[in-house]
A and B are shown apart, each in its own frame.
Chain A
Amino acid sequence: MTDAPIRRRWDPLVKLTHWSVAFALLANALFTEGGSSAHVWIGYALAGILALRLLWGLVGPEEARFRAFPPSPARAVAHVREIAAGKTTAHRSHNPLGALMVYAIWGTMLVIIGTGIGMAGLPSGYGADERPAIAAGMQAGEESGEAADGEREEGPLTEVHEAAANLLYALILLHIGGVVFESRRQRRNLALAMLPGGR
């Protein structure tokens, strides 16, 4: 941001998608049973919200667009040097490290969504009796691995889905840590820009 004194908040759509994604992830990480229909439906909703945010990256206001925060390792390195030198530059959009984080989180979520759809199938693709079979298979798979759907649950999709989810938790912790670190460094609360209300 060249006009540094103007402190801008994120636009309403960025805020809305950010918190929707956060709540969906929280719900599926902590409260829903993997493979349950609630878990699957929240996953589909997450896919819709992520798609909207990606669309916003093409048509949204300047600082929400992809071109405002290109994934550039060179810039990230320059940013790290700046941190080491104790300098701060204001950025209109995500700072270069934050940008890498954003793409990492989006990429991981796409993997999770892709493998999730691969496992659950399309929502009405399986009949009423097949749906419990997934949950049953999941449980049976965990216990004995002998259910009809057992190998599907234990297959590479599940492993990738879970590994990606664990990676995502790590990324989220890093993301929160990054916000705290950068807020202290710049002596202004960056999280405020993501809170509802204001301009």
Chain B
Amino acid sequence: MVSERKERLHRKAAMMAIVVALQALAAGLFLIDFMADVASEGWTGHLIAEGAAATALVVAVIVGAVQVRDLIEQARQDNLAVALARRVVADLIRLRFAEWRLTAAEADVALFAIKGADVAEIARLRGAAEGTVRAQLTRIYAKAGVSSHSALVAQFLEDLIDPDLAVAGAAVSAGPA
């Protein structure tokens, strides 16, 4: 999802950059033409209008460049947000596992469980019997003080979700439009 959005932003930035470059070319030629006309004809009403148009084009180039910059920054911000979130979640998982005193094997199983793997998958990934994994999961649930797979996952999400977000979301859905 995030990388798709990032790709879209990058594409948009590249397209905009081409447009801005063409505008810069046009602005340059327009300005040079304008200066040449002023040099040969002096200031006429027509040339004042032409000068204003050339100036507007230059301003458009500057504004366009700033927009391209913003698109690039936005795409990078997305990257950064994902990288930061990943680090935070990793920290949180390590912290909780330590707090629950999971053994190395249990921590491994718990990580797969949090990622959404079921007993059969975990058994296959670890090359263990399903019965072993089931027993490990039971011990993990007991140590974490939960009674189900979804409750285990919720333990992490609960800490990560900003309580204000729920209120804001409700307000948005209750509001007009």
Query: Does B bind A?
Result: yes
Interface residues of A (CB under 8 A from B): 11-13, 16-17, 20, 44-45, 47-49, 51-52, 55-56, 59-61, 121-125, 199
Residue of A12, A51, A121 near B17 (CB, 8 A) is A12
The contact string, 1 if C-beta is below 8 Å from chain A, for chain B 38-49, is 011000000000
Contact A49 B32 (CB under 8 A): no
* Most chain B beta carbons < 10 A, residue from A48, A55, A59, A121: A48
Known: A44-B32, A52-B61, A123-B36. A59 touches B69 (CB 8 A): yes
Q: Which residues of B contact A52 (CB under 8 A)?
A: 20-21, 24, 61, 65
Interface pick from B6-14, B124-132, B159-167, B169-177: B6-14
Contact A125 B17 (CB under 8 A): no
Nearest B-chain residue to A65, judged by Cβ: B69
Known: A20-B21, A122-B35, A125-B36. A13 touches B29 (CB 8 A): no
The contact string, 1 if C-beta is below 8 Å from chain A, for chain B 76-97, is 1000000000000000000000
Contact B61 A55 (CB under 8 A): yes
How far does the alpha carbon of A132 sit from the alpha carbon of B62 in the complex, in Å?
36
Contact A199 B65 (CB under 8 A): no
- Nearest 8 pairs of A and B residues by beta carbon: A48-B28, A122-B36, A52-B24, A12-B17, A12-B14, A125-B36, A13-B17, A48-B25
Nearest B-chain residue to A117, judged by Cβ: B32
Q: Which residues of A contact B37 (CB under 8 A)?
A: 124
Tell me whether B121 is interfacial, beta carbon within 8 Å. no
Q: Which residues of A contact B62 (CB under 8 A)?
A: 55, 59
Tell me whether B68 is interfacial, beta carbon within 8 Å. yes
Q: Which residues of B contact A121 (CB under 8 A)?
A: 36
Nearest B-chain residue to A52, judged by Cβ: B24
Residue of A47, A49, A199 near B21 (CB, 8 A) is A49
Tell me whether B72 is interfacial, beta carbon within 8 Å. yes
Tell me whether B33 is interfacial, beta carbon within 8 Å. yes
Q: Which residues of B contact A48 (CB under 8 A)?
A: 24-29
How far does the alpha carbon of A51 sit from the alpha carbon of B68 in the complex, in Å?
16
Nearest B-chain residue to A11, judged by Cβ: B72
How far does the alpha carbon of A199 sit from the alpha carbon of B73 in the complex, in Å?
12
Contact A199 B10 (CB under 8 A): yes
How far does the alpha carbon of A16 sit from the alpha carbon of B64 in the complex, in Å?
15
Q: Which residues of A contact B2 (CB under 8 A)?
A: none
Contact B25 A12 (CB under 8 A): no
The contact string, 1 if C-beta is below 8 Å from chain A, for chain B 127-142, is 0000000000000000
How far does the alpha carbon of A20 sit from the alpha carbon of B21 in the complex, in Å?
9
How far does the alpha carbon of A199 sit from the alpha carbon of B74 in the complex, in Å?
13
CB distance from A81 to the nearest CB of B (A): 32
Known: A56-B65, A60-B69, A122-B36. A12 touches B28 (CB 8 A): no
How far does the alpha carbon of A60 sit from the alpha carbon of B61 in the complex, in Å?
13
Q: Which residues of B contact A20 (CB under 8 A)?
A: 21
